[in-house]
Amino acid sequence: MTKSYTLMTPGPVPLPPEVLEVLALPMEHHRTPEFIALFNRVLENLKKIFMTQEPVFIHTSTGSGGMESALVNCLSPGDHVIAVVSGKFGERWADMAETFGARVTRIEVPWGKAVRPEQIQVELQRNPDAIAVMSQACETSTGVLHPIREIAQITAQHKALFMVDGITALGALPMPMDEWGIDVLVAGSQKAFMLPTGLSFISFSKKAWQRVETATCPRFYFDIRKERAANAAGESGFSASVTHVRALDLVLDIFLKQGLERVHQRIQALSNATIAAAKELGLNVYPEPPSPSLTTLSAPDGIDGQKLRNDMEKNSHVIVMGGQDQLKGKVIRIGHMGAIRDEDLLDTLRALANSLNQIKPGFLSPAQLDRALEKANTILQMHPAVVLKAAPSLT
Ligand SMILES: *Cc1c(COP(=O)(O)O)cnc(C)c1O
């Protein structure tokens, strides 16, 4: 823990120093009037990030808990669902639905590609009994961005709900739940929310609430009806993670004071800068289209992606992710969420160039790296990092 690394992974992400300070505050009980006031402010502010009039709920769980909550609250065993599977997280959600007794029709999308809205249309026409379409907004294992808005327009014409795992999308790019017509939207704390792992967030549309009331999937911890009743009385159903929620309060305050648009623009700028620099370095972007929340770069011919990321970690103390399963050794993934300063991205590009040359001497010229850094820097200058103010008092 004494070694300092530049964390550039798409979750967990580097935390702002102000968030770290709040995380170190003494424990407080979650039933005190002070915490209850803070908790309610957080619930209200979360609605502004989800851009919904419906309540948003907090589970003390990883993001996958939020994905499970979406399923157990809307499904009954035997229900038919259509799942977009374009990588590891799509697989996970489809497997989870099967675990709870759903019949799952999988739309297998080649990794790195986005699902086409017509595919959803076709499957819904072929399977009129389907009660839900499930998709990631950003499939973090490949870095692709799916056409969520277009899919929502299609599901709106059917009885099927549209459930979206927005864990690497919400807070990173526009995802207005009500305006687009998303029925169930899930987010998590350790991605764009700049917090440690441990909270998931979820909201249900009016169309989804009808399912929530009648679904027969066994549910206890994630039973959103219990949480709704507790929240209506101003409290959390179970012990709130006071530490996480206090830090969330700070992050939401920052997001809303700075404007969500500026937060999104900064992440988009990190993505644009990375892509522009990659071109100068002769590297290709793997997914089409890429999500702004992370950039997945193909490892060049003859260079193993896993070796490349390991070398960046060992020699430059920069941590990026490799690929999993069919992408193992083929890509590196660079995160753009969290408290990333300009110099963190520039250091990452230097580390990348350094390791490429380490593995394949002469792969890059110093002039190429200079041009890449200059391109990236120019873009970053236009959208400076969102600066935080001093940590606030407790309430
Ligand atoms: C990180 C992530 C998750 C959640 O993973 P946990 O480890 O359970 O927090 C789910 N979906 C996507 C797309 C993610 O990026």
Residue percentage of the chain with pLDDT more than 70: 97
| Predicted pLDDT at 394 | 42
133 CA from centroid of ligand 1 (Å) = 18
Split at pLDDT 50, 70, 90, the class of 386 is confident
Atom of ligand 1 nearest to the CA of 139: 13
Residue 331, strand partner residues:
298
DSSP 3-state of 77? coil
Burial class (CB in 10 A: 0-12, 13-18, 19+), 263: buried
Ligand 1 proximity of 136 Cβ (cutoff 6 Å): yes
Cβ atoms of residues 181 and 156 within 8 Å:
yes
357 CA from centroid of ligand 1 (Å) = 33
Parallel/antiparallel/unpaired status of strands 80-85 and 103-108: parallel
Average pLDDT, the chain: 96
137 CA from centroid of ligand 1 (Å) = 11
Ligand 1 proximity of 89 Cβ (cutoff 6 Å): yes
Mutate to test the pocket of ligand 1, among 9, 71, 140, 244 (most ligand atoms within 8 A of CB): 140
248 CB neighbour count, 10 Å cutoff: 25
Burial 79-98 (b: 16+ CB within 10 A, else e): bbbbbbbbbbbbbbbbebbe
pLDDT tens for 133-186 read 999 999 999 999 999 999 999 999 999 999 999 999 999 999 999 999 999 999
Q: Using CA positions, which residue lies closest to atom 6 of ligand 1?
A: 63
End-to-end CA distance of the chain: 31
Ligand 1 proximity of 62 Cβ (cutoff 6 Å): yes
The alpha carbon of 92 is separated from its chain's Cα centroid by a whole number of angstroms, namely 15
Residue 113, strand partner residues:
288
343 CB neighbour count, 10 Å cutoff: 13
369 CA from centroid of ligand 1 (Å) = 33
Atom of ligand 1 nearest to the CA of 64: 8
196 CA from centroid of ligand 1 (Å) = 13
d(CA 103, CA 340): 42
pLDDT tens for 202-252 read 999 999 999 999 999 999 999 999 999 999 999 999 999 999 999 999 999
Average pLDDT score over residue span 270-299:
98
Q: Using CA positions, which residue lies closest to atom 5 of ligand 1?
A: 63
Ligand 1 proximity of 168 Cβ (cutoff 6 Å): yes
Q: Using CA positions, which residue lies closest to atom 12 of ligand 1?
A: 167
State yes or no: pLDDT of 389 exceeds 90: no
Average pLDDT score over residue span 262-291:
98
Burial class (CB in 10 A: 0-12, 13-18, 19+), 214: exposed
365 CA from centroid of ligand 1 (Å) = 37
Ligand 1 proximity of 140 Cβ (cutoff 6 Å): yes
284 CA from centroid of ligand 1 (Å) = 25
| Predicted pLDDT at 319 | 98
| Predicted pLDDT at 114 | 98
Q: Comparing C-alpha atoms, which of 285, 313, 311, 316 is closest to residue 299? A: 285
d(CA 61, CA 68): 10
Cβ atoms of residues 342 and 30 within 8 Å:
no
Fill in the DSSP letter of residue 299.
Answer: P
State yes or no: pLDDT of 3 exceeds 70: no
